[in-house]
Chain A
Amino acid sequence: MDPELLLIILVDGLVYGSYLFMVAVGLTVICGVQKLLNVTHGALYAFGAYLAATLLILYFRLDWPQFGAFAVMLLSALFLGVVFGLIIERGLLRHLYHEDEHIIVLATFAAFLVLEDVLLLIWGTDPYLAPEPLGLLGATEIAGLPFDNYSLSMVLLSAVVAAVLWYGLNRTQFGKLLLAVIYDRELAQAMGINVNRIFLLTFMLGSFLGALGGAYQAPAISVQPGIGVEVIVLAFAVVVIGGMGSIPGALIGSVIVGVARAFAVHQEPALELFVIYMIMAAVLIVRPQGLFAPAKPRTI
């Protein structure tokens, strides 16, 4: 195969994979620590996109430095992560941790539907467009094709998020507490770890990451009703491939899905969706827990 085409497929795949990773990583963090499949994550993505798009539209009406737009996106995601993390974890999930996991999934699904309607109440049905940041970083030519640097920057952002999360989990005291909770919630509690606080902070972090995914995507898409549903399905596929609760799994899963999809679009477009779910099905057959699922402790 033409090496230039291979390079283009790799770049396209990494860009698409980084978009998936930004959503899937928050989902997998919550899944790993709290052992729950959080369907509200799609709504967090949508809220992130809506709030960022709205604030960006307002921001670009002011005569302020254009690169401040990136701070706008970050702060809007931070705000949503804290507020929604607090409301959903304290208001809903805390009362359900003792319930069967299927009940929790259904509860988060119900919350997702409510949040989708809240979106409509706040922003209505009109799409929001805030494409200005797309042009701020210019373009780079790779293998003869122009790529916008904004999309390429998402690859960098994903790498930074993955590195920070890995460092935070493996090299900090908070990370060690998290790992203790992940391995055995009851034992961690018996050792004096405030599991409720860990759960709240984890959920806020996961929500922030979901909202950040939406906020950073906002300039590249038409922000409109339904975007949360589209993204959550693909994010679930990535989490299943990588292994529930595994951050390296989410990263590798996103790259595998992104590159496989790019290969299909370039070579056999009809297989674009098929390849994603074929990989998922293959992983489920060969390694049902996912490629990088964290090791489970042996229980006595």
Chain B
Amino acid sequence: MNAIPRTRFMALAAALAVSLAAGAASAQTVKVAVPTFLTGGGAPTYGVPAKNGVELVVRAINEGTLPAPYDSVGMAGRKVDLVVYDESGGGTKQVTELRNKVQKEGVDVVAGYISSGSCAAIARVAEELQVLTLLSICGTPRIFEELVKEPKYLFRIINHSTGGNVGAAHYVVRKLRGNVKDGYIGINQNYAWGQDAWRDFNLAMQTLSPEFKPARKQQFPKLFSGQYGTEISVLLRAKEKLVHSSFWGGDLEAFIAQGTARGLFERKTFVWPVGEITAHRLGKKFPNGQLARGPYGLYAEGIDTPLNKWFRSEFRKAYKQSPSSPAYHYADSILAAKYAYDTAMKANGGKFPSTDQVIKALEHATFDILAAKVKMSLGKGHQAVTSDRWGYAEWDDAKGEIVVRDVVEFKAECVNPPEGVNAAEWVKGGMKGAKCD
């Protein structure tokens, strides 16, 4: 048998090594962990639609079938390896889960979280673990105002709660003055989101139209209490016609069932900052009222961008229903990650970027999400702002679904504080610097 010449052998070995290395590189992925409620009260209305939204978008990213500007395969050329896990169990459990995902499973990006409690619990830990973390929903403005004032790894791709509730006050003052002449009252769940939502709405109302007074006492029933007979009696007795309620999920559905049986919604006008998700589920049974949180879910119906049209059509095909806002929020977080990875790769001369380069690409960036444009303009470039849409919800017999009418879009700069200003202080101080024209 003829021996292979030494130089030829070396060339073959080198070629084999290069091809193996290339194979290994192409097999590498961007591992994205997605915490969302898969069990418990938050699962049906928030967690599961959110998971569906993420899975749909990640599938399209891996196949390269998303519309432009996200039509390339993968994130910075690498396919996405998705790890969805349960957000239930409270803050301590979420901290443990996050550590496991980063330290044991080696995830590159965390994109998700619904509860403000979860976000508050993991915010500092994400910085300590040095993992790129994109918060999807949790509304509390305290993340970048109190907990992580010098963020590096932590981002949020949605307005914090102040935007939605300031938008609500603008809408009431502009469109519902007749309903609020006897003042307004609140019923909100007794935890961070409910308390913050009422505070922001009330302060914004006092800034915009101090002649409209809040009721002397507000209702803050326990989260997931499910029984609202007594609270409904209080609301029915109140002279105020306008009610602010940031209820969501099963609590909102139970409240609507019990309130409908007692004619509550014929006597009062409700402002629901996150009612959109329940309107999806209840359809005709949802009482007419306002509902909102920016250009997502029902509010994204008429937005004619290729990304939004693709998402609505593919979501309906995959899940036989239209996407509600959690599906949008979670999908938007994945788009933000793709934007950051792709942009960082371009800046890195086409090579796969480091985490620091990805972070640099996302800080202070402006980019497209499904139905809006996001500006990372607060929290030192880590907190997004978007426009906020409000309108009147009602059942449309012809269409066989809930539609929103009299929609008003408030610019991001109208409903969010300027950079470096605490949200509560901004609202208390008369919302100085707001650009609403």
Residue positions of A touching B, CB distance < 8 A: 5, 8, 11-13, 15-16, 19, 120, 125-127, 129, 131, 134-135, 139, 145-148, 150-151, 219-222, 224-227, 230, 261-262, 265-266, 268-270, 272-273
Contacts and interface: CB of A to CB of B under 8 A. Distances in A.
Interface string B189-228: 0000000000000000000000000000111111011110
Given A127-B44, A226-B224, A230-B225, A16 B230 contact: yes
Given A226-B224, A261-B230, A134 B257 contact: yes
Interface in B222-272: 222, 224-227, 229-231, 233-234, 236-237, 249-251, 253-254, 257-258, 260-263
A143 B261 CA distance: 17
Contact of B44 (A5, A19, A126, A151): A126
B233 A266 contact: yes
B48 interface: yes
A134 B219 CA distance: 24
Nearest to A15: B229
B313 interface: no
A230 B224 contact: yes
B282 interface: yes
Contacts, number: 120
A151 B43 contact: no
B430 interface: no
Interface residues of B, number: 40
B257 A12 contact: no
A125 B250 contact: no
Contacts of A5: 237
A134 B285 CA distance: 13
Nearest to A20: B227
Contact of A225 (B39, B227, B282): B39
B47 interface: yes
A40 B72 CA distance: 52
B40 interface: yes
A222 B250 contact: yes
Given A230-B225, A269-B220, A272-B222, A222 B231 contact: no
B109 to A, nearest CB: 25
B38 interface: yes
B287 to A, nearest CB: 12
B45 interface: yes
Nearest to B266: A146
A273 B222 contact: yes
Given A126-B44, A129-B257, A268 B250 contact: no
Interface centre among A8, A13, A126, A129 (most CB of B within 10 A): A129
Contact of B234 (A147, A224, A230, A265): A265
B375 to A, nearest CB: 34
Contacts of A225: 39-41, 43-44
B226 A148 contact: no
A124 B213 CA distance: 44
Given A127-B253, A131-B261, 18 more contacts: A16-B227, A16-B230, A125-B39, A127-B44, A127-B249, A129-B253, A129-B257, A129-B281, A145-B237, A151-B261, A221-B257, A224-B250, A225-B39, A230-B225, A230-B226, A268-B217, A269-B219, A269-B234
Contact of A125 (B48, B225, B226, B262): B48
Nearest to A148: B261
Interface centre among A139, A147, A225, A270 (most CB of B within 10 A): A225
B282 A129 contact: yes
A147 B262 contact: yes
Contacts of A139: 261-263
A266 B230 contact: yes
B236 A145 contact: yes
Given A222-B250, A230-B226, A262-B230, A120 B262 contact: no
B254 to A, nearest CB: 4
B221 A272 contact: yes
Nearest to B45: A127
Interface of B: 38-41, 43-45, 47-48, 217-222, 224-227, 229-231, 233-234, 236-237, 249-251, 253-254, 257-258, 260-263, 281-282, 285
B54 to A, nearest CB: 16
A150 B250 CA distance: 20
A142 to B, nearest CB: 10
A48 to B, nearest CB: 14
Contacts of B222: 272-273
B44 A224 contact: yes
Contacts of A219: 257
A8 B237 CA distance: 10
Contacts of B234: 265-266, 269
Q: Lowest 7 CB-CB distances: which A-B pairs, in order?
A: A222-B253, A222-B250, A148-B261, A125-B43, A12-B230, A131-B257, A265-B230
A146 B40 contact: no
B178 to A, nearest CB: 23
Contacts of B220: 269-270, 272
B86 to A, nearest CB: 10
A134 B260 CA distance: 9
B3 to A, nearest CB: 66
A145 B234 CA distance: 10
B190 to A, nearest CB: 8
Contacts of B217: 268-269
A147 B258 CA distance: 10
Nearest to A133: B261
Given A226-B224, A230-B224, A221 B230 contact: no
A8 B233 CA distance: 8
Contact of A151 (B224, B229, B260, B281): B229
Contact of B229 (A16, A125, A227): A16
A127 B258 CA distance: 16
Contact of A226 (B41, B219, B261): B41
A219 B256 CA distance: 12
A5 B233 CA distance: 10
18 contacts: A12-B229, A12-B230, A12-B233, A126-B48, A129-B253, A134-B258, A139-B262, A139-B263, A147-B262, A151-B229, A220-B257, A224-B41, A224-B249, A230-B226, A262-B230, A266-B234, A269-B218, A272-B220
Contact of A150 (B227, B231, B261, B281): B261
B219 A127 contact: no
A222 B230 contact: no
A285 to B, nearest CB: 24
Given A127-B45, A146-B236, A269-B219, A221 B226 contact: yes
A272 B229 CA distance: 13
A150 B229 CA distance: 12
